[in-house]
A = this chain, B = another copy of it.
Amino acid sequence: MKATGQREGDQVEAYMERLGRQARAAARQVAASDTATRNGALAAMAEAIEADAGRLMGENARDLAAGRERGLAPALLDRLELTPARIEAMAEGLRQIRALPDPVGVITDLAYRPSGIQVGRMRVPLGVIGIIYESRPNVTADAAGLCLKAGNAAILRGGSEAIHSNRAIAGCIARGLARAGLPDTAVQVVETTDRRAVGALLRMKDWVDVIVPRGGKGLIQRVTEESLIPVIKHLDGICHVYVDDRADLDKAVAVAFNAKTQRYGTCNTMETLLLAEGIASAVLDRLVPLYREQGVELRGCERTRALQPDLQPATAEDWDTEYLAPILSIRVVDGLDAAMDHIARHGSGHTDAIVTEDFVRARRFLREVDSSSVMVNASTRFADGFEYGLGAEIGISTDKLHARGPVGVEGLTTQKFVVLGDGHVRR
Protein backbone atom coordinates (compact mmCIF):
# COMPACT_ATOMS: atom_id res chain seq x y z
CA MET A 1 0.00 0.00 0.00
CA LYS A 2 2.70 2.40 1.02
CA ALA A 3 4.67 1.67 -2.13
CA THR A 4 1.52 2.24 -4.15
CA GLY A 5 0.95 5.58 -2.39
CA GLN A 6 4.52 6.53 -3.13
CA ARG A 7 4.15 5.59 -6.78
CA GLU A 8 0.90 7.52 -7.08
CA GLY A 9 2.59 10.47 -5.40
CA ASP A 10 5.40 10.31 -7.95
CA GLN A 11 2.84 10.20 -10.73
CA VAL A 12 1.11 13.29 -9.36
CA GLU A 13 4.48 15.07 -9.17
CA ALA A 14 5.31 14.08 -12.74
CA TYR A 15 1.87 15.15 -13.95
CA MET A 16 2.16 18.57 -12.25
CA GLU A 17 5.69 19.01 -13.56
CA ARG A 18 4.38 18.42 -17.06
CA LEU A 19 1.68 21.06 -16.56
CA GLY A 20 4.33 23.45 -15.26
CA ARG A 21 6.66 22.99 -18.23
CA GLN A 22 3.78 23.39 -20.66
CA ALA A 23 2.61 26.53 -18.86
CA ARG A 24 6.08 28.09 -18.99
CA ALA A 25 6.34 27.43 -22.72
CA ALA A 26 2.82 28.77 -23.32
CA ALA A 27 3.53 31.85 -21.20
CA ARG A 28 6.21 33.01 -23.63
CA GLN A 29 3.74 32.76 -26.52
CA VAL A 30 0.97 34.54 -24.63
CA ALA A 31 3.33 37.30 -23.50
CA ALA A 32 4.37 37.92 -27.10
CA SER A 33 0.79 37.82 -28.46
CA ASP A 34 -0.92 41.04 -29.46
CA THR A 35 -3.92 42.64 -27.79
CA ALA A 36 -6.38 41.61 -30.49
CA THR A 37 -5.39 37.95 -30.21
CA ARG A 38 -5.90 37.80 -26.45
CA ASN A 39 -9.15 39.75 -26.68
CA GLY A 40 -10.29 37.41 -29.43
CA ALA A 41 -9.63 34.44 -27.18
CA LEU A 42 -11.67 36.04 -24.38
CA ALA A 43 -14.60 36.60 -26.72
CA ALA A 44 -14.36 33.04 -28.06
CA MET A 45 -14.23 31.66 -24.51
CA ALA A 46 -17.42 33.54 -23.65
CA GLU A 47 -19.13 32.22 -26.78
CA ALA A 48 -18.05 28.65 -26.05
CA ILE A 49 -19.44 28.88 -22.51
CA GLU A 50 -22.79 30.13 -23.79
CA ALA A 51 -22.90 27.49 -26.51
CA ASP A 52 -22.13 24.77 -23.97
CA ALA A 53 -24.54 25.95 -21.27
CA GLY A 54 -26.53 22.69 -21.41
CA ARG A 55 -23.47 20.51 -21.07
CA LEU A 56 -22.08 22.69 -18.26
CA MET A 57 -25.34 22.24 -16.33
CA GLY A 58 -25.19 18.50 -16.92
CA GLU A 59 -21.63 18.20 -15.61
CA ASN A 60 -22.51 20.51 -12.72
CA ALA A 61 -25.44 18.21 -11.86
CA ARG A 62 -22.95 15.36 -11.37
CA ASP A 63 -20.97 17.51 -8.90
CA LEU A 64 -24.16 18.52 -7.09
CA ALA A 65 -25.34 14.90 -6.81
CA ALA A 66 -21.95 13.82 -5.45
CA GLY A 67 -22.00 16.78 -3.05
CA ARG A 68 -25.44 15.88 -1.74
CA GLU A 69 -24.31 12.29 -1.28
CA ARG A 70 -21.28 13.49 0.69
CA GLY A 71 -23.58 15.65 2.80
CA LEU A 72 -22.19 19.06 1.75
CA ALA A 73 -23.80 21.95 3.64
CA PRO A 74 -26.61 23.75 1.74
CA ALA A 75 -24.52 26.94 1.57
CA LEU A 76 -21.70 25.03 -0.14
CA LEU A 77 -24.12 23.33 -2.51
CA ASP A 78 -25.51 26.75 -3.40
CA ARG A 79 -22.04 28.08 -4.16
CA LEU A 80 -21.33 25.00 -6.28
CA GLU A 81 -24.47 25.27 -8.39
CA LEU A 82 -24.40 26.57 -11.96
CA THR A 83 -27.70 28.11 -13.07
CA PRO A 84 -28.39 29.57 -16.54
CA ALA A 85 -28.02 33.03 -14.98
CA ARG A 86 -24.65 32.14 -13.45
CA ILE A 87 -23.41 30.67 -16.72
CA GLU A 88 -24.46 33.85 -18.52
CA ALA A 89 -22.68 35.87 -15.82
CA MET A 90 -19.46 33.91 -16.47
CA ALA A 91 -19.63 34.72 -20.18
CA GLU A 92 -20.46 38.35 -19.42
CA GLY A 93 -17.53 38.52 -16.99
CA LEU A 94 -15.16 37.40 -19.74
CA ARG A 95 -16.54 40.07 -22.07
CA GLN A 96 -16.01 42.71 -19.39
CA ILE A 97 -12.41 41.57 -18.99
CA ARG A 98 -12.04 41.75 -22.78
CA ALA A 99 -13.23 45.38 -22.67
CA LEU A 100 -10.55 46.44 -20.17
CA PRO A 101 -7.50 48.28 -21.51
CA ASP A 102 -4.53 46.00 -22.24
CA PRO A 103 -1.89 46.62 -19.57
CA VAL A 104 0.83 44.67 -21.37
CA GLY A 105 3.60 46.68 -23.00
CA VAL A 106 2.55 50.05 -21.58
CA ILE A 107 5.72 52.15 -21.25
CA THR A 108 5.82 54.90 -18.64
CA ASP A 109 8.34 57.50 -17.52
CA LEU A 110 10.50 57.14 -20.63
CA ALA A 111 12.99 59.98 -20.35
CA TYR A 112 16.48 60.94 -21.40
CA ARG A 113 19.26 60.62 -18.83
CA PRO A 114 22.39 62.79 -18.72
CA SER A 115 24.36 59.94 -20.34
CA GLY A 116 22.12 60.17 -23.42
CA ILE A 117 20.26 56.88 -22.93
CA GLN A 118 16.48 56.84 -22.58
CA VAL A 119 15.16 54.90 -19.58
CA GLY A 120 11.55 53.90 -18.94
CA ARG A 121 9.45 51.10 -17.53
CA MET A 122 7.42 48.61 -19.52
CA ARG A 123 4.52 46.73 -17.97
CA VAL A 124 4.88 43.01 -18.70
CA PRO A 125 3.16 39.77 -17.67
CA LEU A 126 4.26 37.97 -14.51
CA GLY A 127 4.52 34.66 -16.41
CA VAL A 128 2.69 31.68 -14.95
CA ILE A 129 0.00 32.18 -12.29
CA GLY A 130 -1.16 29.29 -10.10
CA ILE A 131 -4.69 29.71 -8.73
CA ILE A 132 -5.94 27.46 -5.93
CA TYR A 133 -9.61 27.87 -5.12
CA GLU A 134 -12.68 26.26 -3.63
CA SER A 135 -16.21 25.41 -4.73
CA ARG A 136 -17.39 28.27 -6.99
CA PRO A 137 -16.87 27.01 -10.57
CA ASN A 138 -17.17 30.55 -11.97
CA VAL A 139 -13.67 31.26 -10.59
CA THR A 140 -12.35 28.95 -13.32
CA ALA A 141 -13.56 31.33 -16.04
CA ASP A 142 -12.87 34.57 -14.12
CA ALA A 143 -9.32 33.64 -13.15
CA ALA A 144 -8.51 32.29 -16.60
CA GLY A 145 -9.79 35.50 -18.16
CA LEU A 146 -7.84 37.83 -15.87
CA CYS A 147 -4.60 35.88 -16.22
CA LEU A 148 -4.91 35.78 -20.01
CA LYS A 149 -5.78 39.49 -20.28
CA ALA A 150 -2.58 40.30 -18.38
CA GLY A 151 -0.57 38.12 -20.80
CA ASN A 152 0.03 35.22 -18.42
CA ALA A 153 -0.43 31.48 -18.55
CA ALA A 154 -2.43 29.93 -15.69
CA ILE A 155 -2.65 26.65 -13.83
CA LEU A 156 -6.02 26.37 -12.07
CA ARG A 157 -6.61 23.99 -9.20
CA GLY A 158 -10.26 24.05 -8.11
CA GLY A 159 -11.92 22.06 -5.37
CA SER A 160 -12.52 18.35 -5.91
CA GLU A 161 -16.26 18.92 -5.28
CA ALA A 162 -16.42 20.96 -8.53
CA ILE A 163 -14.18 18.79 -10.68
CA HIS A 164 -16.74 17.94 -13.40
CA SER A 165 -17.93 21.54 -13.67
CA ASN A 166 -14.38 22.84 -13.80
CA ARG A 167 -13.33 20.34 -16.47
CA ALA A 168 -16.30 21.32 -18.61
CA ILE A 169 -15.49 25.03 -18.25
CA ALA A 170 -11.83 24.26 -19.02
CA GLY A 171 -12.97 22.65 -22.27
CA CYS A 172 -14.69 25.90 -23.29
CA ILE A 173 -11.60 27.91 -22.37
CA ALA A 174 -9.36 25.62 -24.42
CA ARG A 175 -11.64 26.00 -27.46
CA GLY A 176 -11.59 29.76 -27.10
CA LEU A 177 -7.78 29.80 -26.92
CA ALA A 178 -7.45 27.53 -29.94
CA ARG A 179 -9.86 29.61 -31.99
CA ALA A 180 -7.67 32.67 -31.36
CA GLY A 181 -4.52 30.77 -32.31
CA LEU A 182 -3.13 30.62 -28.76
CA PRO A 183 -1.82 27.38 -27.22
CA ASP A 184 -4.51 25.59 -25.23
CA THR A 185 -1.87 25.00 -22.55
CA ALA A 186 -2.08 28.74 -21.75
CA VAL A 187 -4.83 27.83 -19.27
CA GLN A 188 -4.65 24.37 -17.72
CA VAL A 189 -7.08 22.98 -15.16
CA VAL A 190 -5.53 20.36 -12.87
CA GLU A 191 -7.44 17.20 -13.76
CA THR A 192 -6.62 15.14 -10.69
CA THR A 193 -8.39 15.58 -7.36
CA ASP A 194 -5.38 14.10 -5.53
CA ARG A 195 -4.55 16.58 -2.75
CA ARG A 196 -0.83 16.06 -3.36
CA ALA A 197 -1.25 18.07 -6.56
CA VAL A 198 -1.56 21.24 -4.44
CA GLY A 199 1.70 20.52 -2.61
CA ALA A 200 3.44 19.83 -5.92
CA LEU A 201 2.12 23.07 -7.42
CA LEU A 202 3.40 25.07 -4.43
CA ARG A 203 6.92 23.69 -4.93
CA MET A 204 7.24 24.34 -8.70
CA LYS A 205 9.16 27.60 -8.39
CA ASP A 206 10.86 27.09 -11.74
CA TRP A 207 7.53 26.93 -13.55
CA VAL A 208 5.17 29.12 -11.55
CA ASP A 209 5.79 32.81 -10.71
CA VAL A 210 3.00 33.57 -8.25
CA ILE A 211 0.27 31.70 -6.39
CA VAL A 212 -3.17 33.18 -5.71
CA PRO A 213 -5.27 31.20 -3.21
CA ARG A 214 -9.00 31.96 -3.07
CA GLY A 215 -11.05 30.39 -0.34
CA GLY A 216 -11.36 29.96 3.39
CA LYS A 217 -8.73 30.78 5.96
CA GLY A 218 -7.61 27.14 6.24
CA LEU A 219 -6.76 26.97 2.54
CA ILE A 220 -4.92 30.29 2.61
CA GLN A 221 -2.93 29.35 5.68
CA ARG A 222 -1.88 26.03 4.18
CA VAL A 223 -0.84 27.69 0.94
CA THR A 224 1.12 30.44 2.73
CA GLU A 225 3.00 27.98 4.90
CA GLU A 226 3.82 25.45 2.18
CA SER A 227 4.49 27.64 -0.82
CA LEU A 228 8.02 28.15 -2.11
CA ILE A 229 6.51 30.63 -4.58
CA PRO A 230 5.39 34.19 -3.74
CA VAL A 231 1.71 34.29 -2.71
CA ILE A 232 -0.81 37.11 -3.27
CA LYS A 233 -3.34 36.75 -0.47
CA HIS A 234 -5.14 38.19 2.48
CA LEU A 235 -5.68 36.19 5.63
CA ASP A 236 -8.08 38.31 7.68
CA GLY A 237 -10.39 41.20 7.13
CA ILE A 238 -10.77 42.80 10.54
CA CYS A 239 -12.10 46.13 9.29
CA HIS A 240 -12.87 49.15 11.47
CA VAL A 241 -15.07 52.22 11.22
CA TYR A 242 -14.04 55.02 13.58
CA VAL A 243 -16.71 57.62 14.23
CA ASP A 244 -14.95 60.83 15.20
CA ASP A 245 -16.68 63.29 17.53
CA ARG A 246 -16.70 65.77 14.66
CA ALA A 247 -18.64 63.34 12.49
CA ASP A 248 -21.95 64.18 10.88
CA LEU A 249 -24.33 61.92 12.78
CA ASP A 250 -26.42 60.94 9.75
CA LYS A 251 -23.34 59.98 7.75
CA ALA A 252 -21.91 58.06 10.71
CA VAL A 253 -25.08 56.03 11.09
CA ALA A 254 -25.36 55.37 7.36
CA VAL A 255 -21.72 54.29 6.96
CA ALA A 256 -21.57 52.17 10.12
CA PHE A 257 -24.86 50.45 9.31
CA ASN A 258 -23.90 49.73 5.71
CA ALA A 259 -20.36 48.57 6.59
CA LYS A 260 -21.78 45.89 8.90
CA THR A 261 -25.05 44.81 7.34
CA GLN A 262 -24.78 45.16 3.57
CA ARG A 263 -23.19 41.69 3.56
CA TYR A 264 -21.90 39.67 6.49
CA GLY A 265 -19.59 37.10 4.97
CA THR A 266 -17.26 39.38 3.02
CA CYS A 267 -13.74 40.36 4.00
CA ASN A 268 -14.46 44.11 3.75
CA THR A 269 -17.32 43.98 6.25
CA MET A 270 -16.75 46.02 9.43
CA GLU A 271 -16.10 43.83 12.47
CA THR A 272 -15.35 46.53 15.08
CA LEU A 273 -16.95 49.95 15.48
CA LEU A 274 -14.85 52.56 17.29
CA LEU A 275 -16.70 55.54 18.73
CA ALA A 276 -15.20 58.80 19.98
CA GLU A 277 -16.33 59.46 23.53
CA GLY A 278 -18.07 62.73 22.70
CA ILE A 279 -20.40 61.22 20.09
CA ALA A 280 -20.74 57.63 21.34
CA SER A 281 -24.03 58.08 23.14
CA ALA A 282 -25.76 59.77 20.21
CA VAL A 283 -24.46 57.21 17.70
CA LEU A 284 -25.43 54.24 19.85
CA ASP A 285 -28.92 55.57 20.47
CA ARG A 286 -29.57 55.56 16.75
CA LEU A 287 -27.52 52.53 15.64
CA VAL A 288 -28.38 49.96 18.30
CA PRO A 289 -32.06 49.69 17.33
CA LEU A 290 -31.13 49.52 13.62
CA TYR A 291 -28.62 46.70 14.20
CA ARG A 292 -31.10 44.88 16.49
CA GLU A 293 -33.73 45.05 13.79
CA GLN A 294 -31.30 43.28 11.45
CA GLY A 295 -30.49 40.66 14.10
CA VAL A 296 -26.90 41.81 14.62
CA GLU A 297 -25.45 40.66 17.93
CA LEU A 298 -23.67 43.57 19.65
CA ARG A 299 -20.70 43.19 22.02
CA GLY A 300 -19.47 46.30 23.79
CA CYS A 301 -16.50 47.42 25.88
CA GLU A 302 -17.17 48.67 29.38
CA ARG A 303 -17.61 52.27 28.30
CA THR A 304 -20.04 51.17 25.61
CA ARG A 305 -22.02 49.13 28.13
CA ALA A 306 -22.15 52.10 30.49
CA LEU A 307 -24.20 53.77 27.73
CA GLN A 308 -26.03 50.65 26.56
CA PRO A 309 -26.24 48.23 29.49
CA ASP A 310 -28.16 45.62 27.45
CA LEU A 311 -25.14 44.84 25.25
CA GLN A 312 -23.07 41.68 25.68
CA PRO A 313 -19.62 42.36 27.11
CA ALA A 314 -16.81 42.19 24.55
CA THR A 315 -13.79 40.09 25.55
CA ALA A 316 -10.17 40.73 24.59
CA GLU A 317 -10.57 38.10 21.89
CA ASP A 318 -13.35 40.03 20.19
CA TRP A 319 -10.99 42.79 19.02
CA ASP A 320 -8.94 40.23 17.08
CA THR A 321 -11.84 38.29 15.56
CA GLU A 322 -13.18 38.35 12.01
CA TYR A 323 -16.78 37.26 12.65
CA LEU A 324 -17.93 36.96 9.02
CA ALA A 325 -21.35 36.91 10.71
CA PRO A 326 -24.01 39.27 12.12
CA ILE A 327 -21.88 40.10 15.16
CA LEU A 328 -20.26 43.46 15.91
CA SER A 329 -17.87 44.54 18.63
CA ILE A 330 -18.08 48.19 19.75
CA ARG A 331 -15.46 50.18 21.61
CA VAL A 332 -15.58 53.73 22.94
CA VAL A 333 -12.20 55.48 22.60
CA ASP A 334 -10.86 58.85 23.70
CA GLY A 335 -10.37 60.15 20.19
CA LEU A 336 -8.42 59.86 16.95
CA ASP A 337 -5.09 58.74 18.43
CA ALA A 338 -6.67 56.02 20.53
CA ALA A 339 -8.64 54.84 17.49
CA MET A 340 -5.50 54.64 15.35
CA ASP A 341 -3.68 52.82 18.14
CA HIS A 342 -6.50 50.27 18.33
CA ILE A 343 -6.38 49.76 14.56
CA ALA A 344 -2.58 49.41 14.58
CA ARG A 345 -2.81 46.80 17.32
CA HIS A 346 -5.88 44.80 16.29
CA GLY A 347 -6.46 45.53 12.61
CA SER A 348 -5.48 43.17 9.82
CA GLY A 349 -4.33 45.88 7.42
CA HIS A 350 -7.34 45.32 5.16
CA THR A 351 -9.74 48.29 5.20
CA ASP A 352 -10.39 50.97 7.81
CA ALA A 353 -12.57 54.08 7.68
CA ILE A 354 -13.03 57.30 9.61
CA VAL A 355 -16.26 59.29 9.65
CA THR A 356 -15.50 62.95 10.30
CA GLU A 357 -16.17 66.45 8.99
CA ASP A 358 -12.76 67.57 10.25
CA PHE A 359 -10.24 68.11 7.48
CA VAL A 360 -7.09 67.77 9.58
CA ARG A 361 -8.22 64.56 11.25
CA ALA A 362 -9.26 63.06 7.92
CA ARG A 363 -5.86 63.97 6.51
CA ARG A 364 -4.04 62.34 9.45
CA PHE A 365 -6.14 59.16 9.31
CA LEU A 366 -5.44 58.76 5.57
CA ARG A 367 -1.71 59.14 6.06
CA GLU A 368 -1.17 57.24 9.29
CA VAL A 369 -3.43 54.18 9.13
CA ASP A 370 -1.38 51.42 7.51
CA SER A 371 -4.04 49.36 5.72
CA SER A 372 -4.55 48.34 2.11
CA SER A 373 -7.58 50.65 1.89
CA VAL A 374 -8.09 53.72 4.07
CA MET A 375 -11.36 55.62 3.76
CA VAL A 376 -13.01 58.85 4.84
CA ASN A 377 -16.81 59.01 5.09
CA ALA A 378 -17.35 55.85 3.05
CA SER A 379 -18.40 52.31 3.85
CA THR A 380 -15.65 49.69 4.08
CA ARG A 381 -17.78 47.61 1.71
CA PHE A 382 -16.44 49.73 -1.16
CA ALA A 383 -13.07 47.94 -0.94
CA ASP A 384 -13.60 45.94 -4.11
CA GLY A 385 -12.05 45.74 -7.57
CA PHE A 386 -15.25 46.68 -9.39
CA GLU A 387 -16.02 49.61 -7.09
CA TYR A 388 -12.43 50.85 -7.49
CA GLY A 389 -12.65 50.71 -11.26
CA LEU A 390 -10.15 47.89 -11.72
CA GLY A 391 -12.73 46.12 -13.85
CA ALA A 392 -12.48 42.81 -12.03
CA GLU A 393 -10.45 41.40 -9.22
CA ILE A 394 -8.54 38.19 -8.67
CA GLY A 395 -8.49 38.81 -4.92
CA ILE A 396 -7.61 41.33 -2.23
CA SER A 397 -4.08 41.52 -0.86
CA THR A 398 -3.16 42.65 2.63
CA ASP A 399 0.50 42.01 1.95
CA LYS A 400 2.65 45.08 1.43
CA LEU A 401 4.88 43.89 -1.38
CA HIS A 402 3.67 44.00 -4.97
CA ALA A 403 -0.13 44.27 -5.15
CA ARG A 404 -1.95 45.74 -2.16
CA GLY A 405 -5.71 45.99 -1.80
CA PRO A 406 -8.01 44.72 -4.57
CA VAL A 407 -5.88 43.03 -7.23
CA GLY A 408 -7.04 43.47 -10.80
CA VAL A 409 -5.38 42.84 -14.14
CA GLU A 410 -2.51 45.20 -13.32
CA GLY A 411 -1.67 43.18 -10.19
CA LEU A 412 -1.01 40.20 -12.47
CA THR A 413 1.71 42.12 -14.29
CA THR A 414 5.10 43.52 -13.34
CA GLN A 415 7.37 46.20 -14.79
CA LYS A 416 10.78 45.92 -16.36
CA PHE A 417 13.18 48.70 -17.30
CA VAL A 418 13.72 49.46 -20.96
CA VAL A 419 16.83 51.33 -22.09
CA LEU A 420 17.19 52.84 -25.56
CA GLY A 421 20.49 54.05 -26.93
CA ASP A 422 22.48 54.56 -30.07
CA GLY A 423 25.63 52.69 -29.20
CA HIS A 424 25.94 54.27 -25.76
CA VAL A 425 28.59 52.96 -23.39
CA ARG A 426 29.25 53.70 -19.75
CA ARG A 427 32.19 55.93 -18.89
Q: Please give, as numbers and ranges, the residues of chain B lying within 8 Å of A367 by CB-CB distance.
A: 31-32, 105, 122, 124
A387 in contact with B117 (CB, 8 Å): yes
A413 to B420, CA, bound (A): 27
Give the size range of A's interface with the partner.
35 or more
Known: A113-B388, A423-B248. A404 touches B414 (CB 8 A): yes
Known: A113-B388, A230-B401, A389-B113. A423 touches B255 (CB 8 A): yes
**Closest Cβ of chain B: how far from A327's Cβ, in Å?**
20
A388 to B257, CA, bound (A): 50
Q: How many copies does the complex hold?
A: 2
Taking a contact as CB atoms closer than 8 A, the residue among B379, B406, B423 that contacts A425 in the complex is B379
A375 in contact with B418 (CB, 8 Å): yes
Chain B residue nearest to A365 in the complex (CB)? B418
A372 in contact with B417 (CB, 8 Å): yes
A370 in contact with B426 (CB, 8 Å): no
Any chain B CB within 8 A of the CB of A82? no
A105 to B209, CA, bound (A): 30
**A113, A210, A416, A419, most chain B CB atoms within 10 A:** A419
A400 in contact with B414 (CB, 8 Å): yes
A355 to B420, CA, bound (A): 10
Q: Please give, as numbers and ranges, the residues of chain B lying within 8 Å of A372 by CB-CB distance.
A: 416-417
Any chain B CB within 8 A of the CB of A344? yes
Any chain B CB within 8 A of the CB of A421? yes
Any chain B CB within 8 A of the CB of A203? no
A356 to B251, CA, bound (A): 62
A253 to B312, CA, bound (A): 79
Known: A32-B367, A124-B370. A420 touches B378 (CB 8 A): yes
A258 in contact with B426 (CB, 8 Å): yes
**Closest Cβ of chain B: how far from A350's Cβ, in Å?**
11
Which residues of chain A (337-375) have a CB below 8 Å from chain B?
A: 344, 353, 355, 364, 366-368, 370-375
A250 to B379, CA, bound (A): 63
B416 in contact with A382 (CB, 8 Å): no
**Closest Cβ of chain B: how far from A19's Cβ, in Å?**
19
A379-408 near B? 1/0 per residue, CB < 8 Å: 101110001110000000001111011100
Q: For the A-B complex with A257-B425, A379-B424, A402-B402 known, give 14 more contacts whose Cβ atoms are closer than 8 Å.
A: A31-B368, A113-B387, A124-B367, A209-B400, A230-B401, A254-B423, A262-B425, A372-B417, A373-B416, A373-B419, A375-B418, A377-B420, A378-B421, A378-B423
18 contacts between A and B (CB under 8 A): A28-B368, A113-B387, A117-B382, A119-B387, A230-B401, A248-B423, A255-B424, A258-B425, A262-B425, A366-B418, A373-B416, A375-B421, A377-B422, A378-B419, A378-B425, A382-B419, A401-B401, A401-B402
